[in-house]
Amino acid sequence: MAEILGPQKLGPLTPLVGEWEGNCGVDFSFHNKDGGTGETGYFEKAWFKPIHTQENGQQTLEGLTYQMTAWRHGEEDMDPFHDEVGYLLWEKKTGIVMRTVVFGRGIAILAGGQAEPRDKKIEFTATPGDANYGILQNEYLSERAELISFNGHFAFNDDGTFSYDQTLVLKLAAMGGKEMNHTDRNTLHLVKRYHPSVEIS
């Protein structure tokens, strides 16, 4: 992918615009059927589309709406095992970057960080109960897999791919209340570039 030149209204989110695929995903989690932890390989598709400028009084946000869907290797023609939708938002004035994400399992996260326009790495963090960047989950999960924290980052690589690595710290009832790191990582390559003036939602 050639370097993106000229004005970049979306700041550090600019390289994400488009459709992406990655086949080297690795999920480390607790497997209820096996009663223990293990790794799962997965194939993933992701879509990032620009949205109109958002204004909260004196705050101006630029951003993307996105979806990321993943299938276990060997199950690409079946239901995905992971699906998330959300927004990535950036405020030029302060450098605040936000990831608003809802998982199909009844989990919602607003994670925040700082990023400059051409940063090669964007980091996000969230903690349950935080007034600004927190985590919510449904009652069933709270009783069995209480979320303690969320940390993640997106990295833009020199070969035009982008990688992410994220960790949810859980307190699992099935492990006697012990904490474990549920991690996901993948590297995706661009399969379609959107033109913002055409694709904006």
Give, for 141, the enclosing helix (H) or strand (E).
helix 139-144
Model pLDDT, residue 1: 47
pTM of the complete model: 0.90
Tens of pLDDT, residue by residue over 157-195, are 999 999 999 999 999 998 889 999 999 999 999 999 887
Give yes or no for a contact between 125 and 149, defined as CB atoms under 8 angstroms apart: yes
Q: Which residue has the tokens 């932890």?
A: 37
